[in-house]
Amino acid sequence: MRYTNEFKVGVTLIVAIAVFILGVRYFQDLPLFRGTYHLVSEFDDAGGLISGNLVRINGVGVGSVDDVFINPETQRVRVEFHVHKSIPVTEGSTSQIAGFEALGVVRLDVKLGPVDAPVIPEAGLVEGIEAPDILGSLSEKAPTLFDGIESTLETLNSVLGTAGSLLSEPDSDIRQTLVSVQRSAAVLDDFLSSERTRLSEILQNVESFTGNMAGFSSDSADSLSAVVSHLNQALVRLDRNLESFEMVSASLSDVMRKINEGEGTLGLFVNDPGVYQKLDSVLSSLDALLIEFRTNPDKFMKEFRLVEIF
């Protein structure tokens, strides 16, 4: 099937127009196959914003600036821009010109309002907020900064001058300190030079000792292993003895607690002062009885019969 030249030209024009439209939308940061959402903001100063600059929401590029011009009615800068239609810009949203005009990097940042607020209609107004003038602030603070820098430089110059004068004077403390350090370094260098041979021998002896220890360890590995095994067994027995000692100590502590609290015979004996008084009375009576028996034994012997005694 053959096509006429008119048909080919028509198809070519249609394809060219489609490519042109898609290219324009691409370079204007417009979605290729989705709709856009046009909005308007007004500012006192454009701050270098021009058509085609990027529009961002939360740091993400979502559109571009369509036009920047002076509104005759308000005498303010009117900025028309678009964002992706999938992003709802609700009431309470604000816009702000950001970036550095001197570097040619200027953009329009949009901060979205509450999620549950009504959506701003097509071509609606988004409140514009003036961005802080960083360069202006720096210009205002420049004299103070320069004064501080100048004062710092004068202080540094004074310190360096004082240090230079101290270094040039032979009797200054810094000069004497540097001379002492130099002498100490010279003495240390002489000592290292004179003792270099001995230091080398010491290092060789240390190396030989470590080698001998390594050889001893490899030759006596079995003996060392046996010693370590016996040591581990002794530690296990010591651990068991400590556990037994802890059990005995706990039992003894419980017994002492019961005694202190007056539990049991011994506890009553220790904690009841009446028992001590009764015992003291009994001992006193027994002592008097023994004294009486020693001084007058007949008084007690006559009460016993001869048959009962023998």
pTM, two decimal places: 0.38
Number of Cα atoms under 13 Å in the Cβ half of residue 259:
9
> Angle 82-83-85 (CA atoms, 0-180°, nearest 5)?
115
Contact present, 42 and 48 (Cβ < 8 Å): no
Q: How many CB atoms lie within 10 A of CB 110?
A: 22
Tell me the β-bridge partners of 128. Answer: 95
To the nearest 10 degrees (0 to 180), the angle between helices 134-168 and 173-194 is 70
Of 113, 145, 111, nearest to 131 by C-alpha is: 111
- The one-digit pLDDT tens for each residue of the chain (310 residues) are 456 666 666 767 776 776 665 555 455 555 544 567 889 999 998 888 888 888 998 888 888 898 999 999 989 999 999 888 888 899 999 999 988 766 668 999 999 999 999 999 998 999 999 876 655 555 666 677 777 787 788 787 777 777 666 666 666 666 677 777 778 888 888 777 777 788 788 888 888 878 777 766 666 666 667 777 888 888 888 888 888 888 888 878 877 777 677 676 666 666 666 666 776 777 777 777 778 777 777 666 665 554 454 4
CA distances from 198 to 184, 206, 209, 212, 296 (A): 21, 12, 16, 21, 99
